[in-house]
Amino acid sequence: MYKIRRKIVKLAVYKYRYLILARKNELKVSYERGESMKLKKVLKKVGSIALCAMLSMTVLPPTNVSAAESLRGESVYQIMVDRFYDGDATNNAKGEAFRNAENSQDDFRYMHGGDWQGIVDKISYIKNMGYTAIWISPVTDPQLWGVPDANGKQWPTAYHGYNVYDPNRASRYFGAEDPEQSKQKLKALVDTCHANGIKVIFDIVPNHVGDYLQGTGNNAHYISSVGLKTGSQVQPVAPYNNVQWYHNNGDINFNLEHPHTESSTQMLENHDLGGLDDIDFDNQEAKAAVFDSVKNWFNYTGADAARIDAAKCMKPSDIHELQDYLGVATFGENFDMDVSFVKDWVGDNAETGMLDFPLFQAIVNDFAYGQNFNNTSEISIQAILNQDGLYGSHVNDMVTFIDNHDRNRFLTEAGGDVDKLHNALTFIFTVRGVPVVFQGTEQNRGNANGQIINGIADTWNRWSMVTKDANGNVVHDYFNTSTDTYQLITQLNSLRNQYEALVNGTQREMWSSIHTYAFSRRVDSGNNEGQELICAFHNAAGTENTTMSLRAESSIAPGTTLVNVMDSNDKITVTSDRKITVSLTGNHSKIYKIDENAEAMIPVNFTVNNATTNWGQNVYIVGNCTELGNWSPEKAVGPATCPNYPTWNLTAYLTPGTTIEFKAIKKDSAGNVIWQEGNNHTYTVPESGEGQITFNW
Ligand code: NOJ
Ligand code: NOJ
């Protein structure tokens, strides 16, 4: 007879919950286990069943595809494979693990059929948007059914791939049932991408396998599969089914992670992330097995870079070692809004870059919620970018995003306002770093069903690009290439391609006020030295005109015409005192570059005699051309200087040969305007040289 023992087993619920409270001034991040409760379970002691002989992967010599040492210059499309496109129905999960519909929150926890062939099929959809890389969800074979939750229910855990079953086998649901064929399909995907000039970033999961082990310490054990769903795997594949390889300390308590101290950091490293069995990297055997399995995938497929899952729960030095071993660029996930903490994972002794969670939160706060750009005491654009120095020379390796598979879709956060979406996208494609955009963003669709998710977003935001009903009939195909956002992204990608300044340029703040933020990206050395783009953003309704100075480091000369790269009719001229006036409409942005085609402007010196002023007033010139503000006092040129009161002097750069009308105005800092009386003055700008106009107020 088998010896049956009755045991109290603490069962974890299917998936951990992160709770994110990002409200106004306050941001708290905590990961919280859903309820768990003690259940009596019959535990049958199983001898170690060799679940499968470990797949010995053929290790091919590295291919000639050059690994990415850095992802600078790339722009990345993030793909959750199961939710992208079903290119091969034969690999779909069978039976109840599979669902077509996306009507309820539960529907999103099942497999939906997307696979690597689907990405191959849709490669031109991605390529034509101008992306140069894709980041795909984990490639390894996943745990199909989780251990029973508090109610005894088993949830499928396979579609996202973060609950690993066999680190050495290519997901049977994304490739093929046959391991050999499956890995060939993965390689075929990488080859197709490379043939199309697209790099492939694997999402790797070295921190943990799935959630199998129950109990802690000496009581850590695998449960029996008796009474569980067919196909339940209750242990990872050998040799990963070795209890000694895991920390077995129980779950991370995310209520205790802040403030970050040595001991809270150790807790992150040595405990389970929501039940996921946490590999002990101090166990050399375990570490070598994990490193080798990852390395083999890179060797075999020639993939280009890695996104490191749950980097927050691993030592930066361990990840650095792995990165070195792989010989590719990596960026990790440290789900934390604290720059001084995240920066520990970035650098020559850590990772190439990191997912920029702090900036992400600032983007949501400022671009979706319309909070103040310039609030330095909360998570704002200015507050976060002010800390860029902490990333040292790796600042352009930070990976920027507006949402992802764990967050509400940006459009949902923005209340469906597509202008805000475009503004935020323009921001991540121009700000320092490497932009990554989650699949489907280009379709102007927020979370499915308009649902906002509190805490970790792992359902409504993960809709399939082809949405189906329960019977598998297509409800909506989201591979539309004519949306305005698809077009915008195409344009933004081509800009990054064209201007090194957007990739390597030094970023310098030019303006920061409640609702307007502007920076310059300038190439300070090398072939494109001096190339500079000026990017300005407005995050509220209504028009705002802002006059700002060029940076001292800028080599753009007074009189230079700048043109908006998104609208060739939108030109502005740098004034004699090195200022520009940027006019931004509601939730819009502009990107100015030097207009190479513009004819040289003529400096015209204005002398206004007899302009007596009250304290606080200054004299400006306004007129009927763009350079003189098109009669708008807010965009008038000035203030004039007054070395010899009440005579005022000012130089404006005007188009040669044009006849202009203008007046002087007096303006105070509150914007009160006094117009010069009488008729407008007229003047014809000379074709060359300089102009001089003298008149009385
Ligand atoms: C972070 C991933 O982005 C998330 O989706 C996943 O569930 C956890 N890490 C655990 O691997
Ligand atoms: C409005 C001013 O009041 C006026 O003085 C000026 O001549 C016109 N703008 C320009 O047409």
Q: For residues 499-509, give the mean pLDDT.
A: 97
- At 163-174, the pLDDT tens digits run 999 999 999 999
Helical axes 418-430 vs 484-498, angle rounded to 10° = 10
- Residue 123 CA, ligand 1 centroid: distance in Å: 25
- Residue 581 CA, ligand 1 centroid: distance in Å: 45
CA 415 vs. chain centroid, Å, equals 19
Would you place residue 15 in the very low, low, confident or very high pLDDT band (cuts 50, 70, 90)? Answer: very low
Q: How many CB atoms lie within 10 A of CB 24?
A: 11
Nearest C-alpha to atom 1 of ligand 2 is from which residue? 631
Percentage helix, strand, coil for the chain under 3-state DSSP, each rounded to 5: 25, 30, 45
What pLDDT, on the 0 to 100 scale, is given for residue 235?
98
Q: For residues 588-617, give the mean pLDDT.
A: 96
Tell me: pLDDT of 121 over 60: yes
SS3 state at 487 = helix
Distance separating alpha carbons of residues 625 and 389, to the nearest angstrom: 41
Distance separating alpha carbons of residues 303 and 321, to the nearest angstrom: 18
**Vertex 294, ends 289 and 295: CA angle to 5°?**
95
Nearest C-alpha to atom 2 of ligand 2 is from which residue? 675
Q: For residues 381-389, give the mean pLDDT.
A: 98
Tell me: pLDDT of 3 over 80: no
Distance separating alpha carbons of residues 504 and 352, to the nearest angstrom: 15
- At 564-588, the pLDDT tens digits run 999 999 999 999 999 999 999 999 9
Are the C-beta atoms of residues 580 and 558 closer than 8 Å to each other?
Answer: no
Are the C-beta atoms of residues 428 and 75 closer than 8 Å to each other?
Answer: no
Please indicate whether residue 675, judged by its CB atom, sits closer than 6 Å to ligand 2. Answer: yes
Please indicate whether residue 406, judged by its CB atom, sits closer than 6 Å to ligand 1. Answer: yes
- At 46-84, the pLDDT tens digits run 333 333 333 333 333 333 334 468 999 999 999 999 999
- At 92-115, the pLDDT tens digits run 999 999 999 999 999 999 999 999
Tell me: pLDDT of 618 over 80: yes
| pTM metric for this prediction | 0.88
Distance separating alpha carbons of residues 298 and 287, to the nearest angstrom: 17
Determine how β-strand 199-204 pairs with β-strand 133-136: parallel
Q: What is the DSSP string of 510-530?
A: EEE-SSEEEEEEE--SSTTTT
132 burial type by CB count under 10 A (0-12 exposed, 13-18 middle, 19+ buried): buried
Which is higher by pLDDT, 340 or 4? 340
Q: Which helix (H) or strand (E) holds 318?
A: helix 316-326
What pLDDT, on the 0 to 100 scale, is given for residue 612?
97
Please indicate whether residue 681, judged by its CB atom, sits closer than 6 Å to ligand 2. Answer: no
Q: Which residues contact 301 (CB under 8 A, 6 or more apart)?
A: 183, 186, 187, 190, 200, 202
Q: Which residues contact 609 (CB under 8 A, 6 or more apart)?
A: 646, 647, 694, 695, 696, 697
- Give the amino acid at 398: M
Distance separating alpha carbons of residues 654 and 673, to the nearest angstrom: 23
Q: For residues 452-477, give the mean pLDDT.
A: 97
Would you place residue 302 in the very low, low, confident or very high pLDDT band (cuts 50, 70, 90)? Answer: very high
Q: Where are the beta strands (DSSP E) in 236-373?
A: 305-308, 329-332, 353-354
What pLDDT, on the 0 to 100 scale, is given for residue 622?
98
Q: Which helix (H) or strand (E) holds 333?
A: none
Q: How many CB atoms lie within 10 A of CB 107?
A: 17
Ligand 2 atom, smallest distance to 675 CA: 5
For the chain, the farthest-separated pair of C-alpha atoms sits apart, in whole angstroms, at 113
Are the C-beta atoms of residues 514 and 400 closer than 8 Å to each other?
Answer: no
What pLDDT, on the 0 to 100 scale, is given for residue 69?
80
Would you place residue 16 in the very low, low, confident or very high pLDDT band (cuts 50, 70, 90)? Answer: very low
- At 17-46, the pLDDT tens digits run 333 333 333 333 333 222 222 222 223 333
Mutate to test the pocket of ligand 1, among 251, 254, 309, 333 (most ligand atoms within 8 A of CB): 309
Please indicate whether residue 680, judged by its CB atom, sits closer than 6 Å to ligand 2. Answer: yes
Cα–Cα distance list, 336 to 333, 351, 376, 397, 443 (Å)? 9, 16, 18, 17, 28
Q: What is the mean pLDDT of the chain?
A: 91
Would you place residue 457 in the very low, low, confident or very high pLDDT band (cuts 50, 70, 90)? Answer: very high
Q: For residues 623-643, give the mean pLDDT.
A: 95
Please indicate whether residue 278, judged by its CB atom, sits closer than 6 Å to ligand 1. Answer: no
- At 535-555, the pLDDT tens digits run 999 999 999 999 999 999 999
- Residue 211 CA, ligand 1 centroid: distance in Å: 13
What pLDDT, on the 0 to 100 scale, is given for residue 68?
61
Mutate to test the pocket of ligand 2, among 680, 682, 697 (most ligand atoms within 8 A of CB): 680
